């Protein structure tokens, strides 16, 4: 069995300790709240996904960085495609991007934040 890399486990939203278990429960578009539901522990290695209260406070800053990159890319794309855009069009585009990318940036920022603090254990990946 090939082992996932750190980047692969972050992007596929896997446990950073075993790189096997999923971080998030599968959500449904019809129930938007379910898109943000995390497992309390890893289904594979039982690593706690909430090591301490308020642990994911720092993930807000990661999410801020992801959203900033999305905003800049959207602004540059809009400028290249439609140079005479109005401020209202730009703001509408950014609001739409925020709403559509919220589950993605939320999940990715938590995955990155957890991977910064939980080390990979190759013995857990074998179980």
pTM of the full predicted structure? 0.84
> Which of the residues in the chain have pLDDT under 50?
1
Q: How many CB atoms lie within 10 A of CB 70?
A: 17
- For position 117, what pLDDT does the model report? 94
DSSP states along 25-56: PPPBTTBGGGGG-B-SB-TTT--BS-SSTTGG
Residues composing the chain: 127
- For position 126, what pLDDT does the model report? 66
The 10s digit of each residue's pLDDT in 75-103 is 999 999 988 989 999 899 999 998 999 98
- For position 22, what pLDDT does the model report? 93
27 burial level (CB within 10 Å; 0-12, 13-18, 19+): middle
Q: How many CB atoms lie within 10 A of CB 22?
A: 15
Domains in the chain: boundaries: 6-126
- For position 42, what pLDDT does the model report? 94
- For position 17, what pLDDT does the model report? 93
């Amino acid at each position: 069995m090939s082992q996932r890399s750190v980047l692969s486990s972050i992007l596929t939203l896997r446990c950073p300790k075993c790189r096997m278990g999923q971080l998030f429960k599968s959500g449904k578009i019809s129930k938007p709240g379910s898109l943000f539901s995390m497992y309390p522990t890893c289904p594979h290695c039982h690593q706690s996904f909430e090591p301490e209260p308020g642990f994911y406070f720092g993930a807000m800053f990661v999410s801020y960085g992801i959203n900033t990159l999305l905003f800049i890319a959207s602004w540059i794309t809009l400028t290249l495609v439609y140079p005479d855009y109005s401020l209202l069009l730009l703001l509408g585009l950014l609001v739409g991007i925020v709403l559509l990318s919220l589950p993605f940036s939320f999940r990715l920022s938590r995955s990155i934040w957890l991977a910064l603090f939980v080390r990979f254990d190759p013995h857990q990946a074998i179980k």
